[in-house]
Amino acid sequence: MLPEIEQICHQIVDFDEFSIGSYIAERDVLRRLYATGKAAYSSGYVGEESEHDTEFPAKNSASASVIDSRQPLVISPESLEELEGHPQSAQTYKTGIRTFMTVALVSDDKVVGTLQLRSSKPNAYTQLDIDVVSRIASQISGALAISLASEQILLQATALDSADDAVVITSFDGKIIWGNDALAKHTGWPLDQLIGLYPNIWSSDDPAEEEIEADLQANIRVGEGWKGEHLNKRKDGTEFYEQLTVTPVRDQNGDVTHFVGIKRDITERIRSEEQKQRVAQIESENRELQQIASARNEFLSTVSHELRTPLTAVSAFADLLFNSRSENLTERQRDHIEVVRRSSSHLASLIDDLLDISQADSGRMFLRKSEFEVSALVAELVESNSVLISDKNQKITLDDRSTGEKIYADRTRVIQILSNLIVNASKYSDDGDSILMTAETDDENIVFRITDYGTGVSQADQELMFNAFYRGKNDQDSGEDGSGLGLAVVRALVDLHDGSIFVDSEQGEGTTITVSITRGTRSH
């Protein structure tokens, strides 16, 4: 179209150079659309042969006054100095141009561009020439405005289609009339299936979203915009979080005709925030648990130490009375003293367990390792523990397959491990039952097994029986005394030896507990 306009002007008015430019009011710049002549070549823009448009500030051109006044302007400078402040015209003047005619292109009462004719002759244009070019300008202004608007619409449509954010346009009553490619990707719905539907096809079934949806609809009903985050679902039912901005489109009377929605998938951000919140909550809970555990350990340690001093005095005094040959004590009194001695011994054992648990939890339990023979250890255990279980007329059978084998470990703690297991086996065995203790080698380990034929342990209790203060269902049903510390101490000591412990049991058929401890060497 622009070359044809140049030809029409050439048939009526004589000129050497011709140019048409659009005016972008928002930025106050002129964009050259078409130009011919030496000046066009020197500026790098020549009609349809140009590779790019040229933009320059309107205030730096001779068109500035034309844009402001909307009146034609003809200048014929006699020297370059007269064009100071107009670099585009000055550049053209250097090529030999001596007369400039600039006419505004006005459409719908807005300046949409300028038309300029240039001649190498001084004072080249008459008033008649000006009037003729002005009429031509008025006739082409509307067409140019439509062309520019179409170009702008095409650019905007291309930009919308290539945008990462989903864009949807609805009618006033909410029906979808347009969407970009990102909308299809965003929602999983093909665009041709969306047209004519309502956006509530994306609504989540989550009851928590009802309040957000109600707020959104309330704003739309009164023609207001809305911005927020909410949960939606795709065509396949998968849910996603989005940030939604709804903007009303109004006509010249201010009435809402359409709504434009911009949707951004923020699922990853929300999931990340939720994960951070969960991590922070877990860390907070862990800190609280650590504080509770620390306070508990401090309490146990303090109580144990506070009890040990008076208990030592009571125990020593009871031993002194029991072992004395005073004729002042009756048999009944001696029986009472024996009760005190046993109770003191039991309480001392409980205090030791409390201290062990406290030290294990706080990482203050250490081993004093030495090398010793396994056979001597298990023989000693059978002898010492046989006395403890004699009240129930039970006996310990030893199956020692470790003759000559040595282990590098804390001897006192290994005795404590096995003694606790023997006492535990005795507790859940009937009067007169036998308890089997086995010692054998297994590759790099010494393996101890304590087997009883008592009530057995349920699978549920097996999962928890080594937790401190835990008492299983058998304890509760039988009314057996116990602190729930013995097996917890066993677990702590086995772990400290880098060993393992395994329970094999069925209710009513007895229990075998296997402890495996690495033989170790003095270099450890």
Residue 420 has pLDDT above 50, yes or no: yes
Q: Of the candidates 123, 114, 135, which has an alpha carbon nearest to the alpha carbon of residue 61?
A: 114
In a domain, 321, yes or no: yes
Confidence of residue 523 (pLDDT cuts 50, 70, 90): low
pLDDT in tens, 251-279: 878 888 899 999 999 988 888 888 899 98
Asked if pLDDT for residue 38 goes beyond 70, the answer is: no
pLDDT grade for 25, boundaries at 50, 70 and 90: confident
Question: What local confidence, expressed as pLDDT, does residue 157 receive?
Answer: 63
Question: Which residue would you say has higher pLDDT here, 230 or 476?
Answer: 230
Per-residue model confidence as pLDDT tens digits over 151-205:
666 666 666 666 788 888 898 888 998 888 889 988 999 989 999 999 989 988 8
| Rounded Cα distance, 120 and 317, in Å | 132
397 and 411, same domain (yes or no): yes
Total domain count, the chain: 4
Tens-place pLDDT, residues 279-321? 899 999 888 888 877 777 777 677 767 777 777 777 787 777 7
Instruction: Please tell me the distance from the alpha carbon of residue 140 to that of residue 170, in angstroms, as a whole number.
Output: 35
**CA distances from residue 19 to 5, 66, 100, 126 in whole angstroms, order as listed:** 10, 15, 11, 19
Tell me which of 4-18, 138-152, 273-287, 510-524 is least confident.
138-152
Q: How does residue 477 score in pLDDT terms, banded at 50, 70 and 90? A: low
Domain annotation covers residue 524: no
- Cα-based angle 494, 500, 501 (whole degrees, multiple of 5): 85
Give dist(CA 214, CA 232) in Å, integer.
14
Supply the CATH number for residue 319's domain: 1.10.287.130
In this prediction, residue 52 has a pLDDT band, given cuts at 50, 70 and 90, of: very low
Please give the pLDDT value at position 506: 86
Asked if residue 513 belongs to a domain, the reply is: yes
Q: Are 414 and 437 in the same domain? A: yes
Dihedrals φ, ψ of 370, to 5°?
A: -155, 165
Distance of CA 118 to the CA centre of its chain: 65
Q: Is 378 contained in some domain? A: yes
Strands 406-409 and 176-179: unpaired
Report, as an integer, the average pLDDT of 409-433. 91
Answer yes or no: do 109 and 174 share one domain.
Answer: no
With 50 as the cut, is the pLDDT of residue 41 above it?
Answer: no
User: Which pLDDT does position 34 carry in this prediction?
Assistant: 87
Question: Where does the pLDDT of residue 81 fall: very low under 50, low under 70, confident under 90, or very high at 90 and above?
Answer: confident
284 and 259 in a common domain: no
More confident call, 306 vs 9: 9
What's the rounded Cα separation, in Å, for the pair 77 and 352? 111
Give yes or no: residues 430 and 357 share one domain.
Answer: no
**Same domain, yes or no: 43 and 67:** yes
Q: Which residues contact 204 (CB under 8 A, 6 or more apart)?
A: 230, 231, 232, 233, 239
List pLDDT tens digits, range 120-133.
999 999 999 999 99
**Is 139 domain-assigned?**
yes
For residue 101, name the pLDDT band (cuts at 50, 70, 90): very high
Residue 327: inside a domain, yes or no? Answer: yes
Four-CA torsion 447, 448, 454, 457, nearest 10 degrees: -50
pLDDT of res. 53: 46
One domain for residues 416 and 311: no
- Which of the listed residues 336, 361, 386 is the one where a domain comes to its end? 361
Spatial separation of the C-alpha atoms in residues 285 and 277, rounded to whole Å: 12
Check residue 478 and give its pLDDT.
54
Distances (CA, A) of 394 to 346, 419, 508: 20, 15, 18
pLDDT score for 124? 93
**CATH number of the domain that 250 lies in?**
3.30.450.20
In the three-class reduction of DSSP (H, G, I as helix; E, B as strand; rest coil), residue 443 is classed as coil
pLDDT in tens, 479-518: 556 667 888 889 999 999 999 999 999 888 899 999 999 9
Residue written as tokens 């772990």? Answer: 495
pLDDT at 156: 61
In angstroms, how far is the first alpha carbon of the chain from the final one? 94
> 225, 248, 265: which is the final residue of a domain?
265
Cross-strand bridge partners of residue 231:
241
363-372: pLDDT as tens digits: 778 889 999 9
Cα distances (Å, whole numbers) of residue 282 to 105, 268, 274, 287, 290: 69, 21, 12, 8, 12
In a domain, 331, yes or no: yes
Distance CA(111)–CA(107), nearest Å, equals 6
What is the predicted pLDDT for the residue at 47? Answer: 35
- By the 10 Å C-beta count (0-12 exposed, 13-18 middle, 19+ buried), 408 is classed as middle
Q: Do 181 and 289 belong to one domain?
A: no
Q: Which residues pair with 304 in a beta bridge?
A: none
- Judged against a pLDDT cut of 70, whether residue 354 lies above it is answered with yes
User: Does 68 share its domain with 182?
Assistant: no
Most trustworthy range by pLDDT among 206-215, 332-341, 342-351: 206-215
The C-alpha atoms of residue 7 and residue 473 are separated, in whole angstroms, by: 106
CATH number, domain of 377, equals 3.30.565.10
CA nearest to 165, candidates 184, 183, 179: 183
Predicted pLDDT of residue 51: 38
The answer to whether residues 321 and 386 belong to one domain is: no
Q: Residue 523: inside a domain, yes or no?
A: no
Q: What is the pLDDT of residue 44?
A: 34
Rg (CA), the chain: 49
The DSSP code for 203 is: B
Angle between helices 331-361 and 486-496 (to 10 degrees): 40
332 and 221 in a single domain? The answer is no
Across the chain, what does the average pLDDT equal? Answer: 84
Among candidate residues 361, 387, 418, the one where a domain is terminated: 361
Domain that holds residue 136: 2-161
Same domain? For 188 and 296 the reply is: no
Per-residue pLDDT for 30 more than 70? yes
Q: Which of 348-357, 366-375, 459-468 has the lowest mean pLDDT?
A: 348-357
